[in-house]
């Protein structure tokens, strides 16, 4: 059955509000000569309607009826076995988060009494497969084709979903990177299963074999645990630096399986023009031992140049809050927090960052130094060391002291 939406003619007064509200031009007005008051009747073109429900919200007369069919699924969960990890790589460089997922995946597979597999998609990347076996994978599925040289959501999601439908894994883990966040929802939609994003904890319910997926909710103010009881596979994207990397052990054995791509099934509606590498920082903030980050109070691009000087002197990376990124002072790749990256440095220097939960959920530091005019803000309260004052007075003095120490 399909979703249905229709106009209740007895209630429609021809006010045209639904037609004006529809962003897809799916509603038109028809004349009703037979109506005693000659009122027009709304008509919905189902070929244009996306069932967004905006017309229903707009109608004050309850004249639009919408029925959303929830298909009854009869998934035989016994057919699904195995824990899968998407082995993210770009231009032959494997993302470290893939190794973190292998470590957690190995624990989950052991609890479930099943196997751990890595899924490697790209061009000329089969040589990377043994590296995942050496880090604990029992099996590596490799889809190696020139068509997959550059990451594109549609081609990668098609390949991954076909492989899932063919092999039927029980659990699929994908890194919550720019790539993972981009194509994981497409995969879940294609195979008609759920997806829990940005997980920070994964545990097994041994009674049901359900994966308990814990992630921040309500703006990071609470942690919610989500399960997928009726569908398989159970899919999660997982944040960086939540789990430790799987250790490299040379000489381990495993199976490498070639997955042959059916070119006819790949339809890219976008064209890849080129890849522009972000060179705004030589160190990825997710991997840095020292992070210097700025917030809304930095106030300008010039302010972040000052913070970058401090980060460079300390051999660290430059980070930022969402407010600073949204203001255009620094690229998104530097964003820390719920909608950015997770960092786990030994030292975190927060400059003019108020410390809302959405930001601090992405910070797991041994030592936090906060510099802020507002001594009552959350970041100053949770800091190991809090320096009250103007960053444009304090930071230059810190830079001066570091330079003098290096010279001597």
- Residue-wise pLDDT for 201-259, tens only, equals 999 999 999 999 998 776 666 788 999 998 999 999 998 888 999 999 998 999 999 99
Q: Is residue 93 domain-shared with residue 228, that is, in the same domain?
A: yes
Q: Is residue 403 domain-shared with residue 315, that is, in the same domain?
A: yes
Cα distance between residue 163 and residue 4, in whole Å: 33
CATH number at 369 reads: 3.40.50.1220
Contacts 24+ apart (CB under 8 A), 210-219: 210/234, 211/108, 211/171, 211/236, 216/338, 216/361, 219/338, 219/357, 219/358
In this structure, is residue 285 part of a structural domain? no
In this structure, is residue 280 part of a structural domain? no
Q: Is residue 151 domain-shared with residue 218, that is, in the same domain?
A: yes
Question: Left, alpha or beta for 51 (phi > 0: left; psi -120 to 50: alpha)?
Answer: left
Which residue spans within 31-134 are E strands per DSSP? 41-44, 64-67, 83-86, 89-90, 93-94, 116-122
CATH number at 182 reads: 3.40.50.620
Q: Is residue 127 domain-shared with residue 242, that is, in the same domain?
A: yes
In this structure, is residue 360 part of a structural domain? yes
In this structure, is residue 277 part of a structural domain? no
In this structure, is residue 11 part of a structural domain? yes
Question: Left, alpha or beta for 243 (phi > 0: left; psi -120 to 50: alpha)?
Answer: beta
Q: What is the pTM of this model?
A: 0.71
Q: Is residue 238 domain-shared with residue 170, that is, in the same domain?
A: yes
Q: Going residue by residue through the chain, which has 408 residues, state the pLDDT in tens, using 9 for 90 and above.
A: 457 899 999 999 999 999 999 988 999 999 888 888 878 999 999 888 888 888 998 999 999 998 766 555 578 999 999 999 999 999 899 999 999 999 999 999 999 999 999 999 999 999 999 999 999 999 999 999 998 999 998 999 999 999 999 999 999 999 998 899 999 999 999 999 999 998 989 999 999 999 999 987 766 667 889 999 989 999 999 988 889 999 999 989 999 999 987 777 887 888 888 887 766 666 788 889 999 999 999 999 999 999 999 999 999 999 999 999 999 999 988 999 888 888 889 999 999 999 998 899 889 899 999 999 999 999 999 999 999 999 999 999 999 999 988 655
Q: Is residue 191 domain-shared with residue 239, that is, in the same domain?
A: yes
**342 CB burial (10 A radius; 0-12, 13-18, 19+):** buried
Domain holding 224, by residue range, is 77-265
The terminus-to-terminus CA distance of the chain in angstroms comes to 78
Number of domains observed in the structure of the chain: 3
37 CB-side CA count, 13 A: 8
Cα distance between residue 125 and residue 375, in whole Å: 52
Q: Is residue 123 domain-shared with residue 258, that is, in the same domain?
A: yes
In this structure, is residue 72 part of a structural domain? no
Q: What is the pLDDT of residue 33?
A: 81
In this structure, is residue 278 part of a structural domain? no
Q: Is residue 248 domain-shared with residue 336, that is, in the same domain?
A: no
Q: Is residue 42 domain-shared with residue 92, that is, in the same domain?
A: no
Contacts of 36 (CB under 8 A, 6+ apart): none
Cα distance between residue 121 and residue 124, in whole Å: 9
Where is the domain boundary, 250, 265, 280?
265
How many other C-beta atoms are found inside a 10 Å radius of the C-beta of residue 28?
Answer: 15
- Angle of CA points 58, 60, 64, to nearest 5°: 70
Is the Cα torsion angle 309, 314, 318, 319 positive or negative in sign? negative
Q: What is the pLDDT of residue 338?
A: 80
**288 CB burial (10 A radius; 0-12, 13-18, 19+):** buried
Q: What is the pLDDT of residue 70?
A: 54
Pairing of strands 234-238, 222-226: unpaired
Q: Is residue 49 domain-shared with residue 100, that is, in the same domain?
A: no
CATH number at 49 reads: 3.30.70.3270
In this structure, is residue 273 part of a structural domain? no
**190 CB burial (10 A radius; 0-12, 13-18, 19+):** middle
Cα distance between residue 351 and residue 294, in whole Å: 5
Question: Left, alpha or beta for 149 (phi > 0: left; psi -120 to 50: alpha)?
Answer: alpha
Cα distance between residue 307 and residue 315, in whole Å: 12
Where is the domain boundary, 265, 298, 332?
265
Q: Is residue 100 domain-shared with residue 231, that is, in the same domain?
A: yes
Residue among 369, 345, 368, 354 nearest 323 (CA): 354
Where is the domain boundary, 67, 96, 120?
67
Q: Is residue 109 domain-shared with residue 173, that is, in the same domain?
A: yes
């Amino acid at each position: 059955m399909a979703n249905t939406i229709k106009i209740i003619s007895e209630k429609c007064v021809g006010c045209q509000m639904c037609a004006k509200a529809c962003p897809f031009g799916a509603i038109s007005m028809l004349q009703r000569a037979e109506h005693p008051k000659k009122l027009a009747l709304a008509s919905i073109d189902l070929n244009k309607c996306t069932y967004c429900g905006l017309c229903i919200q707009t109608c004050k007369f309850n004249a639009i009826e919408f029925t959303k069919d929830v298909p009854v699924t009869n998934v035989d969960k016994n057919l699904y076995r195995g824990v899968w990890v998407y082995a993210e790589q770009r231009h032959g460089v494997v993302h470290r988060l893939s190794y973190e997922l292998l470590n957690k995946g190995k624990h989950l597979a052991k609890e479930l009494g099943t196997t751990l597999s890595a899924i490697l998609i790209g061009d000329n990347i089969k040589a990377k497969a043994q590296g995942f076996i050496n880090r604990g994978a029992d099996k590596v599925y490799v889809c190696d084709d020139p068509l997959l040289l550059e990451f594109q959501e549609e081609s990668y999601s098609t390949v991954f979903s076909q492989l899932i439908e063919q092999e039927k894994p029980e659990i699929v883990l994908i890194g919550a990177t720019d790539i993972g966040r981009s194509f994981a929802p497409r995969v879940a939609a294609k195979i008609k299963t759920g997806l829990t994003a940005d997980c920070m904890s994964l545990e097994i319910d041994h009674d049901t074999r359900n994966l308990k997926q814990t992630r921040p909710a309500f703006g990071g103010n609470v942690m919610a645990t989500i399960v997928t009881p009726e569908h398989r596979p159970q899919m999660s994207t997982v944040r960086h630096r939540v789990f430790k990397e799987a250790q490299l052990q040379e000489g381990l054995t495993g199976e490498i399986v070639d997955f042959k791509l059916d070119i006819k099934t790949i339809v890219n509606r976008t064209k890849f023009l080129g890849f522009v590498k972000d060179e705004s920082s030589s160190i990825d903030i997710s991997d840095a031992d020292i992070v210097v980050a700025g917030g809304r109070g930095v106030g300008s691009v010039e302010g972040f140049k000052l913070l970058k000087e401090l980060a460079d002197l300390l051999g660290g990376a430059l980070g930022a809050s969402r407010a600073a990124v949204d203001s255009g002072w620094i690229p998104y790749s530097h964003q820390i927090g719920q909608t950015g990256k997770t960092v786990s440095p030994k030292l975190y220097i927060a400059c003019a960052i108020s410390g809302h939960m959405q930001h601090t959920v992405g910070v797991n530091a041994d030592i936090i130094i906060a510099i802020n005019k507002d001594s009552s803000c959350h970041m100053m309260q949770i800091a190991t060391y809090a320096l009250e004052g103007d960053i444009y007075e304090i930071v230059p003095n810190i830079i001066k002291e570091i330079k003098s120490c290096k010279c001597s």
